[in-house]
């Protein structure tokens, strides 16, 4: 899923994101605000992983 599609489908994806990444708070999800890079950064922060691993997690989730 490219960044434009991600941002366009944000309202639909919010629930799925909360299920997939339980360490993200409701506040985190609101701050992500449909921005792909924000999701990537929040996953890195909450799970203590590097950008590549966070990117792989998102790619696997999208598949």
CATH of domain 3-62: 1.10.1470.10
**CA end-to-end distance (rounded Å), the chain:** 9
> What is the pLDDT averaged over residues 31-43?
94
> What is the pLDDT averaged over residues 35-50?
96
At residue 46, the pLDDT reads 96
Reference 18, options 52, 42, 51, 48; nearest CA is 42
At residue 17, the pLDDT reads 93
Distance of alpha carbon 55 from alpha carbon 11, whole angstroms: 21
């Amino acid at each position: 899923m490219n960044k434009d599609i991600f941002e366009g489908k944000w309202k639909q994806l919010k629930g799925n994101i909360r299920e997939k990444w339980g360490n993200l708070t409701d506040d985190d999800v609101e701050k992500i605000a449909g921005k792909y890079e924000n999701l990537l950064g929040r996953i890195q922060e909450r799970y203590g992983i590097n950008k590549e691993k966070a990117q792989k997690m998102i790619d696997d989730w999208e598949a």
